[in-house]
Structure 1
Amino acid sequence: MTWEVLSIIGTIAFAISGAIVAMEEEYDILGVYILGIVTAFGGGAIRNLLIGVPISALWEQGLLFQIALFAMTLVFLFPHRLLQHWHKWGNLTDAIGLSAFAIQGALYAVEMEHPISATIVAAVLTGSGGGIVRDLLAGRKPLVLRAEIYAFWAIIAGFLIGFKVVDQSYELYILFLLIVVLRVLSYTYKWRLPNRRFHVPSNKNTMAG
């Protein structure tokens, strides 16, 4: 039941996210549906390929496809004045999708008795894979590569589930809420992982030297 609920939550959240990005890029209705579907199911497809789940399993999720299509249709029909507020709550939708799918991906790997490394990879790819494909198709820098902490929260989920620190249903829901809150805090307060910049000197400066 926990798995099914998280799948529905993540599917709705990412389908809406993909649809909104498509409308921001002025795609037609077909583009809206394609980008929404890719966002909702892309991460799971990549995960399945890497951990050995038959790709045909993706087409057995008929109910989730219907839910995604319904969510995208609602968003497409939203009044324009409501969509103008997307930037105020759009990141929240993405955070919900990240959390739900990261946990779902980790549970998938644990059920197949994969090692902790595969559990973490499954969590990261399921949680952020669809968003990466969405951003690339929309010509944007993937959200997972931006300054605010993103995929790190999926790693935490995979770690806790892989080592069975979090196991019971109520614990999984608490973890879901915790990851959502942490993701919201990370983009609200601009939390960042350490980085190092490297600037290549221009040819002009090199020749002048």
Structure 2
Amino acid sequence: MAWTFFSVIGTVAFAISGAIIAMEEEYDLFGVYILGIVTAFGGGAIRNVLIGLPVSTLWNQEMLFQITLVAILLFFLMPHHLIKHWNRWGNITDAIGLAAFSIQGAMHAVRLELPLSAVIVAAILTGCGGGIIRDLLAGRKPLVLRDEIYALWAAIAGLLIGMQLMINDWLLYGLFAVIIFCRYMSYSRKWQLPRKKLYIEK
């Protein structure tokens, strides 16, 4: 049940996130579809390659592709006044997608009985990969490289799941809510990790 929930929620959230960015960049309907689909499935495709699954695994998700196509179309057809605050919508849907796909990616790695390090990497790649591709295609600086904390939340999800601390669906749902909250707070409050700038003498 949890696997299906996170797969569907993550796919729809990231598809809409990609559609929002495409519409902000004034792409046509085809461009909106391309960016939405790439955002929804890009992270999973990258994860599959790195954990040894065939690329063709992606094409076994026909139901999710259909859900994505419908979600993007419905969002595209929404009245402008409902989506004019695209920045808020985009950050919320991105936070939902990050949370859902981080958990789903970690669960996938655990199912394959991969080590803890691979579970964490799978969580990060699944949660962040699609968004990175989306931002690069839109000519933007990827969210994962911006000032506020982003990928760390995916890594924490992978760590907790890889350590077998999320032992039932309800704990996974709770983790999902916590990651959304933390990601939104890191954006709105500008939470940052420590940084150090090098000054190079010329």
Same fold (TM over 0.5): yes
Q: Which aligned segments of 4 or more residues in structure 1 are displaced greater than 6 angstroms?
A: none
Q: Distance in 2 between matches of 1:143 and 1:34?
A: 19
3-state SS of paired residue (1:135): helix
Residue-pair matches, total:
202
Match of 1:64 in 2: 64
Note the 1:101-180 alignment, pairs <5 A: 101-180=101-180
| One-letter code aligned to 2:191 | W
Match of 1:45 in 2: 45
Q: Distance in 2 between matches of 1:128 and 1:138?
A: 15
Q: Which runs of 5+ in 2 are unaligned?
A: none
Q: Distance in 1 between matches of 2:174 and 2:36?
A: 27
Q: How far 1:88 moved relative to its partner?
A: 2.2
Match of 1:15 in 2: 15
Q: Distance in 2 between matches of 1:138 and 1:90?
A: 14
Q: How far 1:151 moved relative to its partner?
A: 0.3
Q: Distance in 2 between matches of 1:47 and 1:88?
A: 28
TM-align CA RMSD = 1.1
Q: How far 1:198 moved relative to its partner?
A: 3.2
Q: Deviations over 1:25-79 (max 9, x none)?
A: 1111111000000000000000000001121110010110011111110111111
Match of 2:32 in 1: 32
Moved more, 41-50 or 163-172: 163-172
Task: Compute the TM-score of the two structures, normalised by the length of structure 2.
Answer: 0.97
Q: Distance in 2 between matches of 1:199 and 1:62?
A: 51
Q: Percent identity?
A: 64
Q: Distance in 2 between matches of 1:88 and 1:41?
A: 22
